[in-house]
Amino acid sequence: MFRYRHLELLCRGPRTVVRVVDQTLRQEDIEDVAREWNHVADCTHCRKLVVDCSNMEVVGTGVLSKLLVFQRRLKQKGAELALCGVSLAVREVLSLTRLDRLFAIEERESRELVAVA
């Protein structure tokens, strides 16, 4: 099994929850996280992938751009992307950039999402 440095996976049925374990992603880590997200997208057979942002204190433009690319990649595979555990600060950034209109935001916590999958 592949081991991720920046992610934890919670898989159940057609839903996979991906938790970012880093509270603050350094610029040099963003490419690694993007590679790990893409590996998850390539290796899982999920129909819905949920990115759990509950550990992330802030989200910068680098992470946002990688999320957009990740969402596009999943859509090409016929899968959906949603965010959960979005803090007020991250929600504000999404709102200011109007990305809250592009990303589905789940209100439930990641462990609860896996339990109902």
Residue 53 has phi, psi (to 5 degrees) of -100, 10
pTM score, two decimals?
Answer: 0.81
Nearest residue to 69 via CA among 30, 43, 106, 96: 30
- DSSP letter at 51? E
Domains of the chain: 7-116 (3.30.750.24)
pLDDT in tens, 21-73: 877 777 778 888 888 888 888 776 778 889 988 888 777 888 888 889 889 98
- The amino acid that residue 84 corresponds to is C
> What is the pLDDT at residue 101?
93
Query: Residue 117 — pLDDT band, cuts 50, 70, 90?
Result: very low
pLDDT at 98 over 90: yes
Helix pair 61-76, 27-43: axis angle to 10 deg: 10
